[in-house]
Amino acid sequence: MSSKSAARRATRRAEVFAAFDGKCAYCMTAPADHLDHVIPRAAGGKESRFNLVPACKPCGLSKGRRPIAEWVRILAQATTDDTD
């Protein structure tokens, strides 16, 4: 990786974290500790700022390689199951 490429990645990372005030984009409460691909790279998601959001470890691990819509359905179902 060239130094220009590394500098661009660092700038993009800082911009994405700043856009969410350092909080997880999914739960909006926990401090983010990594970037997550909204559309997983395994599903063709790009390495662009439009596909990256800051995430906390619990949300990132829970979402895994799932598309966000699938992950939200799973969370909603778990919530519904807990209230029955």
Where are the chain's structural domains? 3-83
The length of the chain, given as a count of residues: 84
Other CB atoms within 10 A of residue 35 CB: 19
pTM to 2 decimal places: 0.82
Residue 74 phi, psi (nearest 5): -65, -45
**pLDDT tens across 1-36, in order?**
688 888 988 999 999 999 999 999 999 999 999 999
Q: How far is CA 76 from CA 64, 71, 72, 83, in A?
A: 16, 9, 6, 11
